[in-house]
Amino acid sequence: MKQHGFRSGDLAGDLVIDRWWQQGVSLMAGATRREFLKALAATGAGVMLPGSGLLAQTARPSARANPRRIDVHHHMQPPEYLRRRTQQTTNRNWTPAKSVEDMDKNGTATAILSVTTPGVWFGDPQEARALARIVNEYGAQANRDHPGRFGFFAVLPMPDPEGSLREIEYAFDVLKADGVGLFTSYQDKWLGDPVFAPAFAELNRRRAVVFVHVTVPNCCQNLFPGHSGFRAEVDYDTTRTVESLFMSGALAKFPDIRFIFVHSGGTLPVMAGRINDRIPRDRRDLAPLGVLGEVKKFYYEVAHATYAMPLAALTKLVPMSQILFGTDYPVEPFETTTLPLAEYGFSARDLQAIDRGNAERLFPRLKA
């Protein structure tokens, strides 16, 4: 396989091999991917697929060899933020340089940084404002230190409305943030709560991208022995916050916000039909485009949710234009997203849209 420059085990190689396998199945009926790989190694692809044209077509240039992905779900862990929150137990060895190293190994050109749960709110508004500023300055600096490799979603000191408005202004006007990163809930207040409305009005005015990261709501922790909020609860919280956005009229009032929901929308894609049936059709004050129309407007990133089941639900719900690549790195390794994504069966064109094209439309500054 060396002669082609692709190896099993590195991502670019795996993607090309996957494509060969998919297209070679007709030539090796019944072969598993492992058997196919073995045959490829033993005989050399050129021998196995003589003159089929397929090999030349797929191996050649490899539009897939470096998909130059844009990862919209990629976490930063600024040291000063971790130091101040000593209970943080996430990976302390993360650095932007480590991200770049792993991005390079995994065909990723740019990552939009954000902080993961618990964010910056620990009950004291002054502390939240200070932490938000530390994180946001760090995100902007990472981009300056590694031009083109990073963007960032500014964290806001929610649910402090004053502080959030101030940070929106600073993050967009001074730091040139790519959007803001919110959580699905704060202290059992979901995003339709009136406390968020001033910030949403300002974000709507700016036609901002709002990346909505999951968290475990206070209501639903330790529900039974062995319960972990990070197993399934977080994915329910996406649906809760979307219901809250509907029922508060926020989607009608703030139609220009570009929302991104994580992990292929969590439970939302499978529940959207039932929610649609539970909101009367004539409530245009809640859902101007109808529930399904509003939900199709959202963007969804696919981190750690590229298994066949969530992707089947998501792709039935929304057009391909709404799906974005994300990884949840370093919480999740790249491969938990990239390997199932490569095996799902998307066309090369759809994969390009997910990897990069859709994000370029959302973040025109990243257009290559």
Give the number of residues in contact with Zn ion, rule: CB under 5 A: 2
In whole angstroms, how close is the CB of 21 to Zn ion at the nearest point? 31
Q: How far is CA 128 from CA 75, 141, 217, 225, in A?
A: 18, 20, 18, 32
How far apart, in whole angstroms, are the C-alpha atoms of residue 272 and residue 292?
7
**264 contacts Zn ion (rule: CB under 5 A):** no
Q: By C-beta, is 8 or 90 nearer to Zn ion? A: 90
Contacts of residue 253, Cβ cutoff 8 Å, sequence gap at least 6: 197, 200, 201, 204
C-alpha to C-alpha distance for 351 and 342, rounded to whole angstroms: 8
Say if residues 194 and 217 touch (Cβ distance below 8 Å): no
Q: Which is nearer to Zn ion, 172 or 211 (CB)?
A: 211
- Are 273 and 291 spatial neighbours (Cβ–Cβ below 8 Å)? no
Question: Smallest distance from the beta carbon of 114 to Zn ion, in angstroms?
Answer: 7
Residue from 160, 193, 328, 355 touching Zn ion (CB under 5 A): that is: 328
Q: Residue 352 is encoded by which pair of tokens?
A: 């390009």
Shortest reach from residue 88's CB to Zn ion, in Å: 14
Q: How far apart are CA 158 and CA 95, in angstroms?
A: 26
Rule CB under 5 A: is residue 14 a binding residue for Zn ion? no
Question: Is 237 a residue that touches Zn ion (CB under 5 A)?
Answer: no
Regarding 355 and contact with Zn ion (CB under 5 A), the answer is: no
Strand partners, 260: 211, 299
238 binds Zn ion (CB under 5 A): no
- Residues 114-133 binding Zn ion (CB under 5 A) are 116
**Identity of the residue, 58 or 215, whose beta carbon is nearer to Zn ion in the bound complex:** 215
Stretch that binds Zn ion, among 87-95, 108-116, 184-192, 309-317 (CB under 5 A): 108-116
Beta strands in 218-315 (DSSP E): 258-261, 299-301
Nearer to Zn ion, 19 or 304 (CB): 304
- What's the one-letter identity of residue 366? L
Q: Which residue is nearest to Zn ion (CB)?
A: 328
Q: CB of 328: closest distance to Zn ion in angstroms? A: 4
Cα–Cα distance, 85 to 132 (Å, whole number): 12
- Residue among 58 and 110 whose Cβ is closer to Zn ion: 110
Is residue 184 close enough to count as binding Zn ion by CB under 5 A? no
Q: Which residues pair with 70 in a beta bridge?
A: 110
Nearest approach, Cβ of 72 to Zn ion (angstroms)?
A: 11
Binding interface with Zn ion (CB under 5 A): 116, 328
